[in-house]
């Protein structure tokens, strides 16, 4: 069966007017339907009469996608048509190559262009800054004959983005007064915020002649990022007229700091003020539901997504999967997962970790294998989730096999991955193997790794190995505080009372108390603790 073209799918198999295609391509790019935009260009590129109007738009789609192959195709087309030296096409090519990470090709084109606008210079400077080559960016900036507001903004943002706020501030102070507007001020504030320099950000923010909504949001997010939610609330309360971006900064800040109740209260207040939530609001609210286990609230937010017509994109789908798995509704999570048309790595990770967390280890393992078969490359989080599932389920051989594949996918093995493998072997009673693994690890084992090994020694009453861990790896008086009760219990279980008492004496001297056991039962609205 012949595949329907983009034009036919839009109800226009013979558009007649070239301008109609240009308009459609512009709409697709603006709506971030980038694959469709590039496909439309490929179907319309034979008409030389208006391809000059199409190429800059198609190159913008390539730049947003980071598609180097498509950018090169468009470059070839422009060369065939003899329009590659047109300064609009040339500027679009420079920008696309920069966004795709091909800086050498961008600079070659830039140098060959006989006519350059300030936009061309800005695109090349931005490309160098994005690649971390601040020296070349600054050199070009100094060579510029004419600078626009955007030129100053790009150079300030570029230095700040690369962590050099001192030079960014120096460039900000050089901005001519007639070019220093609210955006320039906001970029400087945001530069400090992104580098966690909130005191400097506050100084600039407080002397701004005027503030836009983004400056308020940057300050709110910045304080939330460093955990100072109280200061973020004070900034937020000062905003004269709050828009969606401002509310999103506060809701997201609450959620990221584990304040789920406040996040959901802010979400409700925003809606009461008549502001329609977007995907950022919804994702933050769903994260709050996942943290607090509020399944019913999560379901209502899911209904809201459908009622307001929000696109069920990867971000929203991932947040829904995460919420439903953490709240225990695995069937609904699975349903959303299979209904998601384009599953990225984060989507697979959400379903794998969700099922693993809920004790459905075999299914978590099956999802991991399906992920690999689908062609999606697992990352460090994927391996961490599935190795944890194997450890808890006792899937020793499967876990070892999966661990051995990390190099194949160029995933860096961290201490957390080794910790899962140690836990896997220790839980299965293969304590000697686990101990040998710890000694041969290429990374420094942390207290979690030693704790897993010590815990297994206690479960399996392997006092000899426990003493090897204690004596040969780190002495009890240098042990992590959380390990002291464990070490004392191992000695006590083996009737080594003198050593147990010596460890407990260290605990008393350090002021470490053994935590008493407890339980909680939820009956209706009452919580009974014992």
- Ordered by where they begin, the domains of the chain are 1-116 (1.25.40), 243-342 (1.25.40.10)
Report residue 82's pLDDT band, with 50, 70 and 90 as the boundaries: confident
Two tokens at 306? 């459908």
Q: How far apart are CA 419 and CA 407, in angstroms?
A: 17
**Per-residue confidence (pLDDT) for residue 489, from 0 to 100:** 54
Handedness of CA 351, 354, 360, 361 (dihedral sign): positive
**Per-residue confidence (pLDDT) for residue 11, from 0 to 100:** 44
153: number of Cβ within 10 Å = 22
**Per-residue confidence (pLDDT) for residue 63, from 0 to 100:** 86
388: number of Cβ within 10 Å = 23
Burial zone of 145 (CB within 10 Å; 0-12 exposed, 13-18 middle, 19+ buried): exposed
Two tokens at 122? 């800005």
CB 224, CB 232: distance < 8 Å: yes
Query: What letter does residue 10 receive in the DSSP assignment?
Result: T
Q: 527 has which bridge partners?
A: 522
150: number of Cβ within 10 Å = 18
**Per-residue confidence (pLDDT) for residue 25, from 0 to 100:** 80
Cα dihedral 55, 61, 65, 68 in deg (nearest 10):
0
**Per-residue confidence (pLDDT) for residue 465, from 0 to 100:** 58
Report residue 403's pLDDT band, with 50, 70 and 90 as the boundaries: very high
Can you tell me the mean pLDDT for 108-118?
A: 89
Closest Cα partner for 420 from 343, 485, 342, 356? 356
426-435 residue pLDDT tens: 888 887 888 7
Q: How far apart are CA 121 and CA 317, in angstroms?
A: 40
279-318 residue pLDDT tens: 999 999 999 999 999 999 999 999 999 888 888 888 999 9
| pLDDT over 60 at 466, yes or no | no
**Per-residue confidence (pLDDT) for residue 321, from 0 to 100:** 95
Number of H helices, E strands in the chain: 31, 2
Identify which has the larger pLDDT, 308 or 135. 135
**Per-residue confidence (pLDDT) for residue 504, from 0 to 100:** 55
- Write down the mean pLDDT value for the chain: 83
Can you tell me the mean pLDDT for 273-280?
A: 94
Put simply, whether the predicted model's pTM sits higher than 0.85 gets the answer no
- The least confident of 17-26, 85-94, 162-171 is 17-26
| pLDDT over 60 at 69, yes or no | yes
Can you tell me the mean pLDDT for 391-406?
A: 92
**Per-residue confidence (pLDDT) for residue 76, from 0 to 100:** 85
Centroid of chain to Cα 438: 31
Give the DSSP H or E segment for 520.
strand 520-523
**Per-residue confidence (pLDDT) for residue 476, from 0 to 100:** 45
3-state DSSP call for residue 459?
A: helix
**Per-residue confidence (pLDDT) for residue 481, from 0 to 100:** 53
Report residue 49's pLDDT band, with 50, 70 and 90 as the boundaries: low
Can you tell me the mean pLDDT for 38-65?
A: 77
Identify which has the larger pLDDT, 522 or 22. 22
**Per-residue confidence (pLDDT) for residue 64, from 0 to 100:** 85
| pLDDT over 90 at 1, yes or no | no
Q: How far apart are CA 89 and CA 53, in angstroms?
A: 9
Q: How far apart are CA 475 and CA 92, in angstroms?
A: 64
Closest Cα partner for 60 from 21, 88, 20? 88
Can you tell me the mean pLDDT for 261-274?
A: 96
Closest Cα partner for 379 from 356, 353, 359, 400? 353
Can you tell me the mean pLDDT for 358-370?
A: 95
Q: Torsion-angle region of residue 224: left (phi > 0), alpha (psi -120 to 50) or beta?
A: alpha
Identify which has the larger pLDDT, 18 or 433. 433
Handedness of CA 308, 312, 316, 322 (dihedral sign): positive
Identify which has the larger pLDDT, 339 or 22. 339
Can you tell me the mean pLDDT for 60-84?
A: 83
Q: How far apart are CA 111 and CA 108, in angstroms?
A: 5
**Per-residue confidence (pLDDT) for residue 68, from 0 to 100:** 86
Two tokens at 329? 């509704």
Tell me the range of 13-27, 28-42, 92-106 where mean pLDDT is highest: 92-106
Give the DSSP H or E segment for 453.
helix 447-459
% the chain with pLDDT above 90: 53
Q: CA distances (Å), 243 to each of 255, 288, 502, in order?
A: 19, 21, 62
CB 276, CB 308: distance < 8 Å: yes
Closest Cα partner for 171 from 188, 183, 186? 188
Total number of residues shown for the chain:
530
- HSE, side-chain direction, 13 A CA sphere, residue 486: 23
């Amino acid at each position: 069966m012949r595949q329907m073209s983009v034009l036919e799918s839009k109800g226009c198999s013979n558009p007649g007017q070239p301008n109609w295609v240009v308009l459609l391509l512009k709409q697709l790019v603006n709506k971030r339907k980038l694959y469709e935009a590039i496909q439309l260009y490929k179907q319309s590129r034979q008409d030389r009469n208006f391809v000059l109007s199409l190429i800059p738009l198609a190159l913008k789609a390539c730049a947003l996608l980071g598609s180097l192959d498509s950018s090169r195709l468009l470059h070839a087309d422009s060369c065939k048509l003899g329009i590659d030296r047109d300064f609009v096409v040339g500027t679009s090519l420079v920008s696309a190559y920069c966004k795709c990470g091909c800086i050498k090709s961008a600079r070659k084109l830039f140098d060959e262009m006989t006519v350059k606008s300030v936009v061309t210079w800005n695109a090349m400077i931005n490309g160098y800054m994005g690649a971390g080559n601040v020296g070349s960016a600054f050199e070009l900036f100094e060579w510029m004959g004419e600078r626009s507001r955007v030129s100053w903004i790009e150079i300030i943002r570029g230095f700040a983005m690369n962590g050099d706020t001192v030079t960014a501030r120096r460039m900000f102070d050089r901005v001519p007064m007639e070019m220093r507007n609210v955006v320039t001020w906001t970029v400087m504030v945001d530069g400090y915020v992104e580098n966690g320099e909130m005191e400097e950000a506050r100084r600039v923010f407080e002397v701004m002649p005027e503030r836009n909504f983004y400056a308020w949001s940057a300050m709110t997010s910045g304080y939330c990022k460093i955990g100072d939610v109280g200061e973020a609330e004070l900034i937020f309360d000062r905003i004269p007229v709050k828009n969606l971006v401002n509310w999103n900064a506060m809701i997201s800040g609450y959620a990221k700091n584990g304040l789920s109740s406040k996040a959901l209260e802010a979400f409700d207040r925003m809606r009461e003020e008549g502001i329609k939530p977007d995907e950022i609001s919804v994702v933050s609210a769903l994260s709050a539901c996942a943290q607090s286990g509020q399944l019913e609230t999560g379901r209502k937010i899911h209904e809201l997504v459908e009622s307001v017509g929000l696109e069920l994109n990867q971000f929203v789908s991932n947040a829904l999967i995460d919420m439903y798995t953490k709240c225990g509704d695995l069937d609904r999570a699975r349903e959303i997962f299979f209904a998601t048309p384009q599953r990225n790595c984060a989507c697979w990770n959400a379903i794998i970790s969700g099922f693993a967390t809920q004790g459905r280890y075999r299914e978590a393992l099956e999802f991991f294998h399906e992920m690999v078969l689908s062609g999606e490359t697992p990352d460090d989080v994927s391996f961490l989730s599935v190795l944890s599932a194997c450890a808890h389920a006792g899937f020793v051989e499967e876990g070892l096999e999966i661990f051995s594949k990390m190099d194949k996918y160029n995933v860096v093995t961290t201490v957390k991955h080794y910790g899962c493998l140690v836990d896997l072997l220790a839980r299965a009673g293969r304590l000697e193997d686990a101990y040998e693994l710890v000694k041969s690890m290429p990374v420094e084992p942390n207290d979690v790794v030693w704790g897993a090994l010590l815990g297994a020694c206690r479960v399996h009453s392997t006092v000899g190995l426990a003493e090897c861990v204690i004596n040969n790896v780190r002495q009890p008086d240098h042990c992590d505080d959380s390990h002291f009760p464990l070490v004392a219990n191992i000695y006590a279980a083996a009737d080594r009372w003198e050593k147990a008492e010596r460890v407990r004496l260290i605990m008393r001297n350090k002021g470490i108390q053994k935590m008493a056991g407890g339980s909680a039962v939820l009956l209706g609205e009452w919580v009974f603790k014992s």
